[in-house]
Amino acid sequence: MRNWFAALILAAPGVAGAHPHVFVETGFEVIFNDAGLIEAVRVNWRYDELTSLYVAEERGVDPDFDGEATPEELAALQGFDMTWPEAFEGDTYLTVDGVRVALGAPEEVSAGYAEGKVSSSHLRRLAEPVDPRKVVVLSPYDPSYYSAYEIVSETALTGREGCRAELWVPDYDAAAEQLQVALEELMGDAQAQGFDEAEFPPVGDMFAQEVRVACDAGS
């Protein structure tokens, strides 16, 4: 958990100052195997302009600020967001009948740059293929809410007919109220224990959109 982020929030003028710092446009592809089971998920990310500027400068991309990248610059960009700490779950979560399903390490990694924004794509295989006739939910979120993910495209379904993917959007006003309560509790903990011991609460799921995948029984 980002203790430094907790300290930053607590130092802000009022706990209502908590908000994401990285904004990511997200898209998914759900991939089925020959048996009609979900075996992998492709994740597409496109970052906000400020984050993109930071990454581009760090990687030496688009030094002339024309919003595009040369092949050499694109090569330098590859893997820019794929160095994950051991405990990091990739901000992508899949559940089946409410039970979390483990996703593998990123594969088929690629990165792009267009119109001044960096993007990336990667594939994650399920630990075990799952039956899409169960309740399958795919959700992008950062538990710490440092990054905010928004699903901006229809989810592609590859390898099976008779399936659909529906987007569910949370009640953001209700989520903001829950965040306020969590931050007030954090403030109390900080006053009692000190900033170094205060843990920013895992509130990202409150704001998380969901893709709900369903397939017809006979498909």
Check residue 28 and give its pLDDT: 98
CB-CB neighbours of 191 under 10 Å? 11
pLDDT score for 182 = 73
Average pLDDT, the chain: 86
Q: Is 20-170+204-215 assigned to CATH 2.70.170? A: yes
pLDDT of residue 172: 83
Q: Which residue has the higher pLDDT, 152 or 145?
A: 152
- Angle, CA 201 vertex, CA 49 and CA 54 arms, to 5°: 20
Amino acid 178: pLDDT: 80
- pLDDT band at 17, cuts 50/70/90? very low
pLDDT tens readout for residues 55-71: 999 999 999 999 999 99
Q: Is the confidence at residue 194, as pLDDT, over 70? A: no
